[in-house]
Chain A
Amino acid sequence: MSDAAVTTTQSTELPPLAPPSSTLGLLSVFQRRYLLKLLVQREIAARYEQSFLGFLWSYINPLSQFFIYWFIMGTVMGAHQSVDNYPVHVFSGLIVVHFFTETFGAGTRSIVRNKSLVQKMPLPKEMFPVAAMLVSFWHVLPQMLILVVVCLISGWHPELGTLIGGVLAFAILMCLGTALALIFSVANVFWRDFGSLVGILTNFVRFGCTMIYSYDMLAQHAGHFKWLVLGNPIAVACLLFQRAFWAFSTSHPAKTIRTEFPAHLYHQGLIALGASVLVLLFAQWFFNKFDERIAEQI
């Protein structure tokens, strides 16, 4: 080792001796943005491969869910009466939930799907879950456009809270989504059971957010159990996002904010973001621990 150090200083024009497999984890993903861009582009293209409707599928899935909730919960169960502008309430929640579940699901499969690369090419494997998250984010953009148009029709106008809430919500979702994608993608290499577990957890996320029910309903009926929901960063992101869009599309925004949201939502949002960052750090540690076994176990 000391020899190596000597030679490095002697010949400064040479690159240094370094372990070939060394990566900085998530940091090296962002250092190699060009590779990340290629992976994301490829993934976006691959999703519509050999499909007649192509890009439309990324609208059909959330829209079909939207109409189910709109009809079953809104019309049949009567949520249209109890929640003001219920369709926007559902749709804004759906964007949050869909982004998270897509990141989680595609991220979990990402490493196994890229088996041929993982076995033969040295690259930071964190690339794949992060690329999956960015692909899901790409799909959010057109949904956002629809939401904004619908909101504008129902008299919504953007304000500072929209920006804060929206940014905070997506920061939470991106951190937590990437974190869970990291953990599950590596766990899925060793036991494919984790891939099946994703389906169950996705269901919990879908019903654990104030999407089909409102915060007011939760507070009235769930008692102290409401903290089971509010302790979940995704539910907090959902509330933040609804406060940014849905709240100002209702007939009395001030009243909606008072009754339909927890009192210190922004504080909760910051706490949720902090918790998500901690989970992300844990995920990176977990990933590193099993990283070296991925290439042989996959």
Chain B
Amino acid sequence: MAEAIVADHVTKDFVLRRHRTFKQMSVAKMRGEETVNRFNAVDDVSFTIQQGESVGLMGLNGSGKSTLLKVISGVMKPNKGSILTRGRIAGLIATGAGFQNTLSGMDNIFLNAAIYGLSEKETKATLDEIIEFADIGRFIYQPVGTYSSGMTSRLGFSIAVHVDCDIFLADEILAVGDKPFKRKCMKKMEEIRDSGKTIVYVSHAAASVQKMCNRVIALEKGRLLYDGAVDEGIRVLNYGDEDGDELSADDEELGADV
């Protein structure tokens, strides 16, 4: 077993600009106000994920899940600490792929695949599967800007799962999409997991995390709250929550869907 992702004291801060224009900034300076402040979206997070593990990344909105996923994928760089990954990374970040709205779905497939590092030949070899899985019919030749949010995420997910990657990142993929597609996605994700690839799966639905993952990492306000077994992790997250029972009931319902 080898490590797939090693996060070592990863901190990612964001700059909050309160004054944007020259006029606002000079007034603020004269008054002695701060013009810039920072906050840590991900704060001193360390963990090691072994190859073949399937990890559920959980936490409330704004706890830093998506930022952490962006750091793992390489879209963002940590300010402090280091992140190391092994092999090709594919997946969806913040519900949706990086698509160009003016390009057709077809062109976007080639562009996205090239960004993941596929050659033209490799893309052509999986093209039919991608189109078939996305199942958006003749809209594949229309500009992505005209797609509905469901169609966009179908295509994005389809490209991501057909890239021969070592690490698969999935960020709330089930937030959009209808029941049959959700089911199809979960099945595909299970296939990916069973083929021995590393998965980092962001979700609020406890039941689907229980089904997919063998480990939970939970964040709270950017800090590592919990890292360990799935059931315990879900309990930790609901701990102290007044609506805990109601929420878990919702979760089960969501889980039953998928």
A contacts, CB < 8 Å to B:
1, 3-4, 7-8, 10-11, 14-22, 32, 34-35, 38-39, 42, 46, 49, 114, 116-123, 291-293, 295-297
Contacts and interface: CB of A to CB of B under 8 A. Distances in A.
Contacts of B3: 3-4, 7, 17
A34 B93 CA distance: 24
Contact of A15 (B72, B86, B97, B120): B86
B221 interface: no
Interface stretch (B107-115, B131-139, B181-189, B202-210): B107-115
A297 B6 CA distance: 26
A34 B118 CA distance: 9
B100 A117 contact: yes
Given A3-B3, A20-B83, A35-B115, A117 B110 contact: no
Given A122-B75, A296-B14, A18 B107 contact: no
Given A1-B8, A17-B86, A116-B100, A296 B114 contact: no
A14 B87 contact: yes
Interface string B75-114: 1110100111111110001101111111100010011101
A35 B111 CA distance: 7
A116 B110 contact: no
B30 interface: no
Contact of A117 (B2, B85, B98, B117): B98
8 contacts: A3-B3, A11-B2, A18-B86, A19-B85, A34-B119, A116-B101, A117-B100, A292-B76
Contact of B111 (A19, A42, A296): A42
B119 A17 contact: no
A35 B114 contact: yes
Nearest to A14: B2
A188 to B, nearest CB: 15
Contacts of A32: 114, 117
B176 to A, nearest CB: 15
Residues of B in contact with A, size category? 35 or more
B114 A38 contact: yes
Given A14-B2, A18-B84, A38-B111, A296 B76 contact: yes
Given A20-B74, A21-B75, A116-B101, A38 B110 contact: yes
Contacts of B112: 121
Nearest to A127: B115
A117 B115 contact: yes
B162 to A, nearest CB: 16
A118 B75 CA distance: 8
Interface string B43-87: 000000000000000000000000000101111110100111111
Nearest to A193: B22
Nearest to A49: B102
Contacts of B82: 19
Contacts of B77: 19, 21, 291-292
A195 B98 CA distance: 24
Interface string B113-149: 0110101100000000000000000000000000000
